[in-house]
Amino acid sequence: MINKLYDTSLSLLTDLYQLTMAYGYWKAGKAEQEAVFNLYFRKHPFQGGFTISCGLSSVIDYLNDYRFSEADLEYVGSLTGNDGSKLFEHGFLEYLRTMKLECSIHAIPEGTVVFPNEPLLRIQGPILQCQLLETPLLNLINFQSLIATKAARMRLVAKDDVLLEFGLRRAQGPDGGVTASRAAYIGGFDATSNVIAGKVYDIPVKGTHAHSWVMSFDSELEAFETYAKHMPNNVTLLVDTYDSLNGVQNAIKAGQKLRERGYDLNGIRLDSGDLAYLSIEARSMLDEAGFEKTNIVASNDLDEYIMDSLKIQGSKINVWGIGTKLVTAFDQPALGGVYKLAAIKTASGEWDYKLKLSEQAIKVSTPGIQQVRRFRDASGFVSDMIFNVETPMETKPTMVDPYDFTKNRSFAEDVQFEDLLVPVFTKGHLVYTLPSVHETRRRVQQQLANLHKGSKRFVNPHTYPVGLEKGLFDLKTDLIIKLRAANKS
């Protein structure tokens, strides 16, 4: 869990402006005013047609231990403004010292297929507390969802092949590496080389040896035979240190000696060169020598596009070791999730809905206390409708495209549906039973199986229908008109 990695308070895992806004709320007497924020993203990563939600487990760990330690408060109290005087007065620090989280949080479960503008998290509670949570929640959800999505794309290509995550050495620091290992496993990988991730998150660990092992011996054959002698139940031999096909022949010789001891050659690994050609030749050599079950592992800056190309070329690779382009999300290093205020409760107890305007339609936020209803039929998922839980819905609800009001559809009364956001915290108390990482991994594959294949293709994927319930669409439209009128210069 995240707090096993960092044995300290993480309340300062935030941006300064969250603290300055919190201070402003406190000074203005607004600290306890009830508010609702939604965390969502605007575009799928990798120009794809789906995203995998991930990071809720870390959110729960973070919030369960949320506190300002004495060291935190001492540091915050030392901060100064542009004039050199203290930023925060003592009374505010005392407020933080005794503060207990009272937020209620609804979330879409980890491993769910999600789409732009859908709230992955809905945070409701005192506005000061909701504001303090913005940066850490985005940090925990954005990266893990990005990596889980990348991993799921690779799983789509790999089909039944084994996927191994080898990315720790190329990851962005220790936390980037460990977090990526967990998200990659959830997204569909079978194991990781990252030992601490295996320990902390109960992920299977796998590994072979490096070129340095081979280079430390007088010959490649001696290196292979020595490794097999001392590690007979874990023999996958890296064959490309000098000459790949000659290395395969030496691996076969080591494998024959291994069999005399009652063990078998698990695999050979190719890390350079023409992987399609070399894997085909290696497969022929291994089969001819009676090693039909020996795996062919490939690595070397692979991603889903290269994997797909290798499969088209008829490669015989059946185990894929992927590092850099997975754990760094090489072709898109950020998801771009946002956290927007959607409602504030007035003194009379009514909700005052809020909306952020923009010249860009995609950046205009949606008001309301939002829920996502996913409709399905016998073939799988049909469409998602975002609605405001405070607004009564018609018996046959109508969904409107938020960017084109002429596109709408209605749903029959007996259509099957599921509301995706579930209670996780109620007024600061955990009410959710978190599935195991293995159950979450299985959920991803179940979700993808229910998604139309057009939304899973990499080139020009089909756009899965997501819209606003008509009442919410009308509310948003009215607010846009009023705010534009009120803010005319």
165-224 pLDDT, tens digit each: 999 999 999 899 999 999 999 999 999 999 999 999 999 999 989 999 999 999 999 999
Q: Alpha helices of 202-303 — where are they, by DSSP H? A: 211-215, 220-230, 244-260, 275-288
DSSP state of 304: H
- What is the average pLDDT across 324-348? 96
pLDDT in tens, 256-308: 999 999 999 999 999 999 999 999 999 999 999 999 999 999 999 999 999 99
Q: Which domains does the chain have, with CATH numbers?
A: 208-314 (3.20.20.70)
Q: Is the pLDDT of residue 395 over 90?
A: no
Give the pLDDT confidence of 201-216 residue by residue, as tens digits. Answer: 999 999 989 999 999 9
Judge contact between 191 and 167, C-beta under 8 A: no
Per-residue model confidence (pLDDT) at position 489 = 61
User: Which token pair is 445?
Assistant: 């594959």
pLDDT(415) > 60: yes
Under 8 Å between Cβ of 102 and 428: yes
- Asked whether the predicted pLDDT for residue 481 surpasses 80, the reply is yes
Amino acid, res. 234: N
> 10 Å Cβ neighbour count for 257?
15
Q: Which pLDDT band, with edges at 50, 70 and 90, does 126 fall under?
A: very high
What 3-state class would DSSP assign to 312? helix
What's the CA gap between 398 and 413, in Å, rounded? Answer: 11
CB atoms within 10 A of CB 442: 14
Q: What pLDDT is stored for residue 406 in this prediction?
A: 85
Average pLDDT over residues 386-406: 90
DSSP-derived letter for residue 205 is B
Q: How far is CA 432 from CA 92, 105, 364, in A?
A: 32, 10, 32
DSSP code for 455: G
Distances (CA, A) of 132 to 88, 187, 262, 290: 15, 29, 60, 62
For the chain, give the mean pLDDT. Answer: 95
- The model's pTM is 0.95
Q: How far apart are CA 299 and CA 198, in angstroms?
A: 20
Does the pLDDT value for residue 454 go beyond 60?
A: yes
* pLDDT tens by residue, 457-468: 999 999 999 999
Please check whether residue 184 is in contact with residue 170, taking contact to mean a CB–CB distance below 8 angstroms.
no
Encoded tokens for 8: 């300290």
Tell me the two tokens of residue 470: 């008509």
pLDDT of 32 higher than 80: yes
What's the token pair of residue 398?
Answer: 């109508």
Residue 223 structure tokens: 């290196």
Helix (H) or strand (E) holding 209: none
pLDDT of residue 1: 53
